Amino acid sequence: MATSEPPVDSFLPLPPATFHILMALAAEDRHGYAIIQDVAARSEGAMRLSAGTLYRSIQRMLDQGLITETSERPAPEFDDERRRYYRITPLGTSVARAESLRLAQLLSLARASGFAPGRA
């Protein structure tokens, strides 16, 4: 519905599920189940997206323009026609970068206060 792109900062802070989905889509296009598995593997089981949460997030992210549905399909032998594949958009990439930066800054502040391990 948005005609011109809103500023990147307006998306921050990102909900954890959204950030995880963006990370899962960073390297390649994936379908829903693959996203769930990737998120679980990446977080070593700490973040388990449920199906409803996943598609609720996907719907919102599509609306916001962070991801798109892609019509490119993998080779037919790997494909299940029911599956939809999602791809991160340039806006999604910028937003994920901005969120990372925000978290990094936050982390360095936390270190300075002695809340987090590592160099101040």
Partner 1 sequence: MRFYRALLHLYPKSFRSEYGNELCSLFGQQWRDTSGPAASLLLWIRTFLEILFNAFAVHWDLLRQDLRYTARTLSRSPGFAIVAVLVAALGIGAGTAVFTVTDHALIRPLPFAAPDRLVALWETTPGYSRMELSPLNYRDWKARSASFESIAAHRGLSVNLSGQGEPERLEGSAITAELLPLLGVRPAIGRIFTAEDDRDGAPGTLLLSYGLWQAAFGGDQGVLGRKVLLDGVPATIIGVMPRNFHFPRRDAEIWTPMRFAPAGFQDRNDNYLNVVARLKPAVTLKQAREEMRLITAQLSREYPKENARHGAAVNLLRDEISRQSRLLLAALFGAALCVLLISCSNLANLLLARALARQREIAVRSSLGAGRERLVRQLLTESSVLALLGGAVGVLAAYAALPLLARLVPQSMPVPEPSIDLRVLLSSLVFTVITGIGFGVIPALRGASSTSLQEGARTGAGVRTQRLRSTLVITEVAVSVVLLVSAGLLIRALPGVQSASYISFLPMTVRGGIWPVSVDGNTQLDRSENHTACLRYVTPSFFETLGIPLRSGRDVSDSDTASSTPVAVVSESFVKRYWPGQNPLGRHFNFAFQERTVIGVVGDVRVRGLEGPSEPQVYLSHMQVPDNTITWYAPKDLVIRSSVDDATLLPAVHAIIRNADPALPISEVRSMADLVAEDTGPRRLQLRVLGAFAISAFLLAGIGIHGLLSFAVSQRSREIGVRIALGAQSGDILSLVLRQSLILAAAGVALGTGLGYSAGRAMQSLLAGVSPADATAFLASITIVLLMALFGSLVPALRALRVDPTTAIRAE
Note the residues at the interface with partner 1 (CB under 8 A): 31-33, 36, 50-56, 58-60, 80, 82-84
Q: Nearer Cβ to partner 1, position 48 or 97?
A: 48
Other CB atoms within a 10 A radius of the CB of residue 108 amount to 14
Which residue's CB is nearer to partner 1, number 53 or number 68? 53
Shortest distance in whole angstroms from residue 63 CB to partner 1: 8
- Number of residues that make up the chain: 120
> Residue 27: left (phi > 0), alpha (psi -120 to 50), or beta?
alpha
Q: How far is the CB of 33 from partner 1 (least distance, A)?
A: 5
Which CB atom, from 79 or from 105, has the smaller least distance to partner 1? 79
Nearest Cα residue to 34 out of 60, 11, 13, 58: 58
Least distance (Å) from partner 1 to the CB of residue 52? 3
CA distance 63 to 98: 19
